[in-house]
Structure 1
Amino acid sequence: MHQSSAPDWQLTFDEVKRRGRFNNDAQVAESLGVTRAQISAWRTGKSDLGTLIKLKLLDALGVENLHSVLHSLYPVRNREDHIRRQARLVDRVRHAGDQPARELANPANSEPAGALSWEDNVLLAGLPEDERAVFSPHISAIFLPLGAVAEGAESAHDIYFPTTAVVSLSLPAMAGIAEWAIVGREECVGSGVLPSDVLLPRQTVVLHEGHAFRLSGRVFQAALARSAILRQRYFRCLQSIAGQFSQAAFCNTAHSSLQRFCRWLLVADRSVWTKPISAHPTVMANHLGMTVQEVTDAIALLHAEGAICWESGAIRLLERSLVALQACECSAMRFGRYPQT
């Protein structure tokens, strides 16, 4: 009986993965609130998927009348977290399927720009009223889901100004370097941002889901020609990203995995304005070019020291000073390199 039913759950899991435009099992696991290792053990027949996870998959696929059953199975301690995760999973699976696979370049959740404040992104904050008037008909507020990828899409020349979202830029082809820059509310991102003959990210992935502004690259380039304020902030953005790239190349060869992880944690915490930091060991390992074991060892050490709280796939910094003590000096490069005015 077990052997005959197992393939059905494999198909169910894969259907959720397909409809939700997830890139791998780790991203589905994150949305379900379990680890990649748990899914791997189930995939290989070493463990069962579990009733709660099975019901979450069915609920995501639209099976009716499961909400009350699910709510009765959620543990009291993490009940709200389970509810939020499931709501995001349901929304992604039911709405992403009709969208192009590259979600960052053509996001499903678009809303009027007025839903966000211009002040939520440093590049946009303080723009003269005449510049805002030019941008207003062409800018929209969007939601960027965790793990969304943009790479060579039709609208790749659009520019994104993160507000609560955080984006990771990487050059996977370079040996020893995975993630080389983190872009948050102080910068902008998009293929049209970086000069292609100098720096062209091979992959752009949403590291921490949240909101951003989206603007046509054509409109942005025209505004750069007119606005000295925008040009000043744009070139500081380029300096920041180029600096992070250079620093990552050095850091990944000169410092220990614990130092690099602490450096990443400080940078990510600085960029993420809606705490805690959404993070899974497998995802972090991929970003940092480290092994999952190195990441889990670093998390365990910092958790034991009381520097962080690790729970439900998220990290909250409790004592920044303790993390900073074990981080390499590279973290200081990002903090203070970008004036707020």
Structure 2
Amino acid sequence: MTPAGEPSSPAPHRRPSPQRHGFAVSAGCSGGHPESGRREVPSMGRPDQPRNRLLSSLPPAELDALRPCLEPCSMKPRRVLHHDRAPMEHVYFVESGLVSVLAQIDERKAVEVWLIGREGLSGIPIVLGGSVSPHRRVVQLGGTALRMAAADVHAAMRDLPVFSVTMLRYVQLALAQTSQIGACNGAHAIRQRLARWLLTAQDRVGHDVLPLTHDMLARLLGVRRATITECIAVLDAERVLSTRRGRLEILDRERLESMSCLCYRIMANEHDRMMRDLHGIGAPPTICGHDHAASRREATETGSNTPTVSASPAP
């Protein structure tokens, strides 16, 4: 029996790794179990172009070499991608949804130390050659990801130079983000921190509508639910946000930015700098370039202004 109380299935047999583009690509790189201890998630088909910003920035030859190792999987709310102090088996390149990296601060309470969306990945210790972290990675807004086995990540970083640089640049971004969030949490008022979090979440998912609950925001920011409710009531009254049960819509992004602290702009600028470095001169707009009008046009063309993600309170 798994820790979640569900029967486990044996890991499928992995065939010998063929060579492709100088990179040892594992045939059928979908073996093993999710670190959450739950049963295997069925494959949903391989996309032609990944929506994850790190993968989409790679040269076509390197992306083609990686494709056999990228297993599409769903991320349901509250799914634990990586448990704290447990060996990691996969890196998850987020395509949609949001993943929180949570730090335990006492026996019952954990707070968010950084947020992962389509700009990044879950599993930095693997990128750095390790396998264990004191932090838990939990899906907050449901979505999808492309996961890659740890051994394949290591082989790709050895043999694919742009992929290797991309992974290390993302590590640099994550370090900058976590240090800035730590400073922000210690120095700024909750209203500023909430504005910073909402702006970052909007960047990560690319939509104005966020399926979030007051309880979830309170847990992630490490404050009382009543405090979040008071802040959101003010933002709603000032027409910065529109609120419904389990859903927030950002109506006035410029105003929300003016309410945030400088920390949001510092982190957004660092992300934009990383993407410019990866794409080179003439890069397409990044998610922190605030082309939210384009996101709304894309949503309108598909018949909906609401992202297909669902919310969950942090465990």
Same fold (TM over 0.5): yes
Correspondence for 1:210 among 143, 162, 181? 143
Moved over 6 A (4+): 99-103, 174-177, 196-199
Question: Partner residue of 1:330?
Answer: 263
* Aligned residues with identical type, % of pairs: 23
Residues in 2 aligned to 1:188 and 1:317: alpha-carbon distance in whole angstroms? 25
Question: Partner residue of 1:171?
Answer: 103
May I ask how many residue pairs the two structures share in their alignment? 246
More helix by share: 1
More strand by share: 2
Question: Which residue identity lines up with residue 179 of structure 2 in the other structure?
Answer: S
Question: Which residue identity lines up with residue 292 of structure 1 in the other structure?
Answer: R
Specify the SS of the correspondent of 2:146: strand
Aligned CA distance change for structure 1 residues 323 and 246 (closer, same or farther; 3 Å): same
Q: Are positions 1:268 and 2:210 aligned together?
A: no
Specify the SS of the correspondent of 1:306: coil
Q: Are positions 1:111 and 2:47 aligned together?
A: no
Question: Partner residue of 2:88?
Answer: 156
Aligned CA distance change for structure 1 residues 152 and 247 (closer, same or farther; 3 Å): closer
Displacement of 1:131 in angstroms is: 2.7
Question: Partner residue of 2:165?
Answer: 232
Correspondence for 2:118 among 166, 181, 185? 185
Q: Which has the larger radius of gyration?
A: 1
TM-score normalised over the length of structure 2: 0.69
Residues in 2 aligned to 1:333 and 1:199: alpha-carbon distance in whole angstroms? 29
Residues in 2 aligned to 1:181 and 1:139: alpha-carbon distance in whole angstroms? 24
Displacement of 1:243 in angstroms is: 1.1
Q: Over the residues paired in the alignment, what is the CA RMSD in angstroms?
A: 3.1
Question: Partner residue of 2:248?
Answer: 315
Q: Is the 8 A contact 1:166 1:183 kept in 2?
A: yes
Residues in 2 aligned to 1:256 and 1:111: alpha-carbon distance in whole angstroms? 44
Aligned CA distance change for structure 1 residues 153 and 111 (closer, same or farther; 3 Å): farther
Question: Partner residue of 1:134?
Answer: 65
Displacement of 1:263 in angstroms is: 0.7
Q: Is the 8 A contact 1:165 1:208 kept in 2?
A: yes
CA offsets 1:59-105 (integer angstroms, 9 cap, x no match): xxxxxxxxxxxxxxxxxxxxxxxxxxxxxxxxxxxxx9667997757
Question: Which residue identity lines up with residue 139 of structure 1 in the other structure?
Answer: L
Gaps of 5+ in 2: 10-32, 280-315
Aligned CA distance change for structure 1 residues 174 and 323 (closer, same or farther; 3 Å): farther
Correspondence for 1:145 among 58, 66, 76? 76
Residues in 2 aligned to 1:237 and 1:132: alpha-carbon distance in whole angstroms? 17
Q: Which has the higher contact order (CA 8 A, sep 6+)?
A: 2
Aligned CA distance change for structure 1 residues 152 and 215 (closer, same or farther; 3 Å): same
Aligned CA distance change for structure 1 residues 154 and 110 (closer, same or farther; 3 Å): farther
Residues in 1 aligned to 2:240 and 2:152: alpha-carbon distance in whole angstroms? 44
TM-score normalised over the length of structure 1: 0.64
Residues in 1 aligned to 2:226 and 2:48: alpha-carbon distance in whole angstroms? 40
Q: Is the 8 A contact 1:177 1:288 kept in 2?
A: no
Q: Is the 8 A contact 1:251 1:330 kept in 2?
A: yes
